[in-house]
Amino acid sequence: MLSVSTFIIVLVLIIPIEKIVHVNAFRRFEIGGKETILASENENIIIQCKSDFPMTYCGFVHPSGKRFSFAERAVSDGKCVQKIKATKADSGEWGCHIGRKSVRLESMKKIHVRIVNQVAAIEPNITAKLGKTITIACATTNGLTPLSYCRFEPPNGQSFNIDSSVTAKQPILKKYYYPSNSSLDRGDCAVTIIKVNFEDVGDWTCGAGLDDGQEHFDVIKLEVEGG
């Protein structure tokens, strides 16, 4: 008698686990020659100075006064880089100085580092000239995260929401429009104020909707000088 053996073949599917790579999501802004870095607490960030000419040395001064220096072999491609895991103690004004043999006077730069929440004012304190145009803005700090909406609460007057469809040709209340170099899709909540006056002085609250279904906000203090 021929016995038939039944074999159960078990196929084991091995699914490789992808290596998760953390991508730095901090954002860097340069307005009026002043650089600002917005980052989350415990995030790895890069603070850097650049030069169009070869460096001999460079150095950074921490807001606490601590110094970091780099010799010629540590600088390349006109860049001087300091990498840190950002904490609240790193918030404040960083100084950077660059030395070159061809020019004996050093180049200096100030970099403002702020440890913030998911949405933050790019400049929390702004002084504008009376009658001039000024832009105030908040931004997402977790990379270029899209916003579902952007709104502002002026210190005096009615709150409003704004996006790229509000242009300088058709401003809200003939006063507010969305700057053309900003985008809700990349996380910019911004408004340009036409002919700033003393009624605009005070705390402006920016509110932004994220995909978590919540509104995130920050406050911008606006001062007006002149008259």
pLDDT on residue 72: 55
pLDDT on residue 30: 87
Question: What band does 186 get if pLDDT is binned at 50, 70 and 90?
Answer: very high
In the chain, the domains with their CATH numbers are 27-115 (2.60.40.10), 119-225 (2.60.40.10)
Lowest mean pLDDT among 3-7, 11-15, 77-81, 171-175: 11-15
CA distance linking residue 207 with residue 203, whole number of Å:
13
Q: Would you say residue 201 has pLDDT above 70?
A: yes
Run of H or E residues at 202: strand 202-209
Number of H helices, E strands in the chain: 0, 17
Encoded amino acid at 129, one letter? K
Q: What is the pLDDT of residues 70-115, one digit of tens each?
A: 765 556 667 788 999 999 999 999 999 988 877 888 888 999 999 9
CA distance linking residue 132 with residue 57, whole number of Å:
41
